Amino acid sequence: MRTCLSDAVAPSVWKASKRVLERCGVTVKVPRAQTCCSQPAWTAGHPDQARAVARHTIKVFSGPEEVVVPSGSCAGMVVHAYPEMFRGQPEEEAAIDLARRTIELTQFLAKHDLDPGPGAPGPVTLHDSCHMLRVLDESRSPREALAKGGCEVREMQHTDRCCGFGGVFSINFPELSGRLGEEKARAAVESGAREVVSCDLGCLMHIVGVAHREGIPLRARHVAEVLDR
Amino acid sequence: MSTAAVGDPLVDLLLESLTRRKATGQVVQPGDAGRAAARWMADAGVARAVLAGDPLVDRIGLADALRREGIDVLTWPTGLGKRESMGLEGPIDVCGVTVPARAVAERGTVVLEASAGHGRGLDVTSRHHVALLPADRIVRTLGEALALTYADGRAAPSAVSLVSGPSRSSDIEKISTLGAHGALTEHVVIIR
Amino acid sequence: MSTRRRRADGGVAYLDVQGTLRERTVDALRDRTLRGNLDTAATSWGESRDAMREGYGLDDMRERAREIRRSNIRNLPALLAEMQANVREAGGTVVRAADGAEACRYITGLARARGVKVVAKSKSMATEEIKLNEALQDAGIEVVETDLGEWILQLANEHPSHIIAPAVHLNREQVAALFREEAGTDEVPDDREGLVAHARVRLREKFAEAGIGVSGVNLGVASTGTVCVVENEGNARLVTSQPRIHVAVMGMERVVADWDEAAHILQVLPMAAIGQDAANYVNLITGPRREGESDGPEEFHLVIIDGGRGALRGTEFEEALSCIRCGACLYSCPMWRSVGGQAYGSPYSGPIGAVITPLLEGPSSPASRDLPFMSSLCGACGEACPVGIPLQDLLVRARARSSSPATRASGLAFRAWSRLWRRPGTYRAWMAGWRLMLRARGKDGWATDLPGPGAGWTQVRDMPTKWPPRR
C-alpha cells in the first residue's frame, strides 16, 4: 500500500519501501489502482464517505497476499477500523480478511525476520507515532529494523507524547497542533540527533514543517528511506 | 480470611503502610497501651483528648493515664457545642481517640464505624488522631475489610470511614500538603 | 483567562462560555503560568501512574474494572431499584430527578422548607453540571465550596480545570491574593502550609454554620444502599457529618452491585486518579444517623440524576457511562495538558468531557460542534482509563454524530473527495493537480502559503514540497 500521503508529498517513501522489501527477497506488487485507506473521512466523522473509498481499497487488495504499509497510521486504520466500519455491511467478511492481512512495514520485517542490509548510519531520533504505539501496540519493530541496519538511534524525551498532527486536527486547531509540533521538534533536537525519523509520514511532515517555520534545525526521513541505502 | 496473630507479618505490613501514608504506629502490650497512648499525646502537645465510648478505652485505663499527663479528658458523647467540637473555640490541640473496627495492612487504612459510642467525627474534627487497634483486627486487603464490614446479616453502619493517613491537600501547586481539614497527625497504637 | 463574570452579589457565577473553542485554546496557549502548572501536574501524575503499573499490576486491574462497570450499566435499572430500596430502609429519602432542573428544585425546596441559610458543599461534578450553586444562590442561600481547590476557585470566580485537582492552574501567589481579598486582611501567610492552615479555620466557620451539607457520590453500592465519597482533605467527612441534613447528588450510572465490586473500583480509583494506592478518606454512608448516635445528619437525601444518561444505554456511546470520574484521561491528554480544563467550557473537560458533553447537550450544541474535534486521536486517554473506555473511538463516533454548519460543509467536501478518490483515474488526476500546485507554491522546497483548507496548515508550519525535505 503506497498511502495517499506518500503519493501526494513523498513518492520516495513508497519506492524506498519497495526496494527495502525486494532486497530481502520479497516479491512486491504495487497495485496501480489503489487510492486511500479513507482515514481522513472516517476520523472527520463522515463514515459513509469513508466506506465509499474503503470499498475500493478492499477490492484492490482482495488478496491473498499480506499487505505491507509504510505507515503505522494507515495500517492501524485498516486493522482496527475496517471491521467496525463494515459491521453489518455486505463487505464485512472481506474487510475483516483485509484487516487480518495488513501489516506495517517494520512489523513485517520483524515478523518474517528479514534483514535488508546496512542502511544509513544516523544518528537519528525515532518518533513513535500514536497509531503505531497505541493502535498497533508497537514500539519495538522500528527500533529493531534500524538497529539491524546499523543506524544509531538517540531517544528523545517523552516519546509517548503526541506530536500534534492528528490528521484533520492539524487544520482545525492549527495553534494547538503547531505548539505540540514545536515541543516535539525541540525534543528531537535535544536528543542530540539532527534527524527525526518515523514510520509515519504525516507526523514527519508536521514536525519538520513546524521546525522549518520556527528555525529549528532538524532533518527528517521516513524509516524506509533510512533502511534503503 | 487472614487476620493478625502474635508475631504476625500483617502487623509489620501495617506499620510499613502507615509510614507510607505519613502516619505513625507502635506495637504495645495491653498493660502498656494506656500509658503509651497518653505519652504520645503528651509529646504531641495535646491539651484535650476526646475518647470514643468503647470498652477497650476503659480496659486499658486510658482516661487515668491521660489525667496523669495533665491532659483534659472527655468521653463521647461530649455534649460540646458545635463550634467547640470543631476547634473554633476552646483548646486547639485536641486529640480524637478512636477504636477502629478493623484495619487494612496493605493500605495503611483504619476502618472507623459510627455508633452510639463512636462519633463519626471523632478523628476529623480534632487536630490529632490516635487509634487504639487490637492486633487481631488487622486484615490484609481492602476487599476483606469491606466484606466484614458489610457482611450478610449485619446491619450496615450509618457511616464507615476508611482513614489512610492524615489529611492531605494538593490543591496549591499540586504538591501534597498536610491538614486542610482533617487531623494533622495520625498515630496507631497496635495492641497485642 | 478571559472567561470571568462577577455577579452583583459577589456569589459564584456560571461563566458564559465566551468565544469559540479554538479562540479559547489560543488564549490558553498564551498563558505561560497555566502551561507551566499543567505540565508539572501532568508529568508528576505520569510518573506516579507508571509506578502504579509496575508495582501494583494496574493493567490487570483495569480488565476486571472494565467488566464490572460494563455489567453495572447493563443491569442499571435493577441496581438503581435495589439502591433506592436499601437507602429508604436505612431511613434515607431517594429522589430520581429526570434532569438538572428537577434536582435543583428539590434541593432548593428542601433548603427553604428547613429554613437553611448556608449550604456547605464538597466537590461534585454532578452539582456543577446541574448548576446547583446558582439555583441555591438565586433562592438567597449562601453556598460555600469546602474542597480547598474549589473554594479557591469560588473566590476567583472560575471554573475547575481538572476533575480531581480543580485549581491546578493557579499558583501560590495567586492563591494568597485571593485569600487576602476573602478575609479582608493582608495578614495571610504566603507559604503553602500557612495558606492551608488559614483555609482550615475559615472553612470550619462555615461547617459550623451550614444547615445542609451537599456532597457528590463517587460510587453507590446497591446491595446495602451505601454512598461512597472519596477524598483526600477531609472536607467531605465534615460536609457529610456536621450539618443536620446531608444531600448526596449522584449520576445514575455511578452504581455497582456489591462490596466485592466496590472494593475493586475503590482501589483502582486513586491509582488512576492520583497515582497512589489509597485516598486519605473514603466515606461510606448508609442513611442518616441511627437512634442513639450523637453526631451525623438527622436527614439523608439521595438525589439521583438522569440528565440524558439513561438515553445512552444501548447506544454506541454506552461505554462512556462506565466512567468513574478519576481524571486520568485529562492528565494523559496532550490537549488538556496544553490548554487546561476551562477552555472546554463544560464541567467535564478532557477526553471524557469531549465525549459526554455533546451527548448531554445535544448534537447541534456548540459543544457537539467543537469538542470532539479538539483531539489528535492519539489514544493516550483510552490507554490511561482505568475502566478501559475506548475514548478515542468514542471521539470519532461523536464527530460523526455532530451536526452544525461546519460539519455539514465538511460533509459536502468529503462527498466530493470520495467521488474523486474512489476511482483510480480521478485519484491520479487529483494527485497530479496537487503536485503541480505544490511545485508552483514551493520555493526552495517549501510552501509557506497554501490555499483553501491548506491555509490551516501553513498558518503555523511550512509544507515540504520536496522529500526528503530540504534544509
Neighbouring chains of C at 3+ CB pairs under 8 Å are A, B
What is the pLDDT at residue B177?
62
State the greatest distance between any 2 C-alpha atoms of chain B, in Å, as a whole number.
47
> Does B72 map to a domain?
yes
Amino acid at C409: A
Residue B2: predicted pLDDT? 37
Tell me what pLDDT residue A46 has: 95
Q: Is B28 helix (H, G, I), strand (E, B) or coil?
A: strand
CA C117-C123-C128 angle, 5° bins: 80
The DSSP code sequence of A34-59 is -----HHHHHTT-HHHHHHHHHHHHH
Instruction: Choose the mutation target among A9, A42, A48 for the interface with C, i.e. most C CBs under 10 Å.
Output: A9
Domain tally for chain B? 1
In a domain, B127, yes or no: yes
By C-alpha distance, the chain C residue nearest B118 is C293
| Contact residues for A176 (Cβ-Cβ < 8 A; gap 6+) | A164, C25, C29, C335, C338, C339, C374
The stretch C421-425 carries a mean pLDDT of 96
Q: Which residue of C has its CA nearest to A217?
A: C471
**Pairing outcome for strands B102-104 and B138-139:** parallel
Identify all chain C residues contacting A8, using CB atoms and an 8 Å cutoff.
431, 434-435
Cell reading at A4: 495517499
DSSP state of C14: P
Instruction: Name the CATH topology of C33-310.
Output: Rossmann fold (3.40.50)
B5 vs C: CB within 8 A: no
Specify the higher pLDDT residue, C6 or C391: C391
Residue B155 carries which DSSP code?
A: P
Residue B175, in any domain of the structure: no
What's the rounded Cα separation, in Å, for the pair C92 and C301? Answer: 6
Which helix (H) or strand (E) is B11 found in, with range? Answer: helix B9-20
Q: What is the pLDDT of residue B100?
A: 98
pLDDT of residue B1 exceeding 60, the answer is no
User: What per-residue confidence (pLDDT) applies to B4?
Assistant: 47
Q: Which residues of C touch A133 (CB under 8 A)?
A: 379
How far apart are alpha carbons A100 and B155 in whole angstroms? 55
**Distance (Å, whole) CA C221 – CA C210:** 27
Contact call for C461 and A212, based on CB within 8 A: yes
User: Which member of C334, C435, C461 has the closest CB to residue A161?
Assistant: C334
**How many Å lie between the alpha carbon of C104 and the closest alpha carbon of chain A?**
36
Sheet holding B48-51, edge to edge: B24-28, B187-191, B128-134, B94-98, B48-51, B72-75
Cα–Cα distance measured from residue C470 to residue C450, given in angstroms and rounded to the nearest whole number: 18
What is the CB neighbour count within 10 angstroms for residue C98?
12
Distance from CA of B5 to the nearest CA of C (A): 24
Residues forming beta bridges with residue B191, ordered by sequence position: B28, B134
Domain boundaries, chain C: 33-310, 424-471
Measured in angstroms, the CA of C21 and the nearest CA of chain A are apart by 9
Check residue A56 and give its pLDDT.
97
CB of C415 within 8 Å of any CB in chain A? yes
The cell for C26 is 489560543
Beta bridge partners of B131: B98, B188
Q: What percent of chain C has pLDDT over 90?
A: 64
Q: Is C210 helix (H, G, I), strand (E, B) or coil?
A: coil
Q: Looking at residues C49-60, what average pLDDT do you find?
A: 83
Is residue B20 assigned to a domain?
Answer: yes
Is the pLDDT reported for residue C77 higher than 80? yes
Q: Which residues of chain A have pLDDT under 50?
A: none
The span from the CA of A206 to the CA of C68, in Å, is 41
Whether pLDDT at C9 is above 60 = no
Which value, to the nearest 10 degrees, does the dihedral of the CA atoms of residues A9, A14, A15, A19 take? 150
Looking at the domain assignment, is residue B2 inside a domain? Answer: no
Task: Using a CB–CB cutoff of 8 Å, tell me whether A91 touches chain C.
Answer: no
pLDDT digits (tens, 9 = 90+) for B10-52: 999 999 999 989 899 999 999 999 999 999 999 999 999 999 9
SS3 C120: strand
> pLDDT at position B154, please?
93
Inter-chain touch A169–C459, beta carbons under 8 Å = no
CA nearest B178 in C: which residue? C193
Among the residue ranges B60-69, B108-117, C55-64, C417-426, the one predicted with the least confidence is C55-64
At residue C220 the predicted structure's pLDDT band, cuts being 50, 70 and 90, is very high
- Chain C residues near residue B149 by CB distance under 8 angstroms: 259, 284
Cα of A89 vs its chain's centroid, Å: 28
Distance from C-alpha of C282 to C-alpha of B145, rounded to nearest angstrom: 13
Give the structural domain span for B44.
9-170+186-190
Dihedral of CA A32/A38/A41/A43: which sign?
A: negative
Nearest 5°: the CA angle C162, C166, C171 is 115
With CB atoms and an 8 Å threshold, state whether C196 touches B177.
Answer: yes
What is the reported pLDDT for B167? 75
List chain A domain ranges: 4-109, 116-227
The Cα A150–Cα A167 span in angstroms is 32
Q: CATH code for A116-227?
A: 3.40.50.11810
Instruction: Output the pTM of the full model.
Output: 0.92
Q: What is the pLDDT of residues C152-206, one digit of tens each?
A: 888 888 765 555 555 666 778 888 888 898 888 888 888 888 888 888 888 999 9
- Is residue C374 less than 8 Å (CB to CB) from chain A? yes
| All three cell numbers of B174 | 499540586
CATH number at residue B121: 3.40.50.10420
Interface test with C, best of A5, A53, A160 (most C CBs within 10 A): A53
pLDDT tens profile C117-149: 999 999 899 999 999 999 999 999 999 999 887
pLDDT at C363 over 90: no
Query: What is the pLDDT averaged over residues B77-95?
Result: 89
Residues 6 or more apart whose Cβ sits within 8 Å of residue B100? B110, B111, B112, B131, B132, B133, B137
State the pLDDT at residue C19: 76
What ipTM is given for this predicted complex? 0.94
Q: How far is C47 from chain B (nearest CA, A)?
A: 14
> For a pLDDT cut of 70, what percent of chain C falls above it?
94
Judged by average pLDDT, the poorest of A217-221, B76-80, C18-22 is C18-22
How close A144 comes to chain C (CA, Å)?
23
Residue of C nearest to A4 (CA): C431
Confidence band, pLDDT 50/70/90 cuts, at residue C3:
very low
- What pLDDT shows up at residue A119? 87
**C68 or C45: whose pLDDT is higher?**
C68
Chains that touch B (3 or more CB pairs under 8 A): C
Q: Can you point out the beta strands (E) in chain A?
A: 67-69, 102-104, 125-127, 195-198, 219-222
User: pLDDT at position C301, please?
Assistant: 98
Residues contacting C35, CB < 8 A, separation 6+: C29, C338
Residues across chain C: 471
Are C376 and A177 an interchain contact pair (Cβ–Cβ within 8 Å)? Answer: yes
In Å, how far is C229's CA from the nearest CA of chain B?
10
Is the pLDDT assigned to residue C359 strictly greater than 80? yes
pLDDT tens figures, B134-179? 999 999 999 999 999 999 999 999 999 999 988 766 555 555 566 6
Domain presence at residue B36: yes
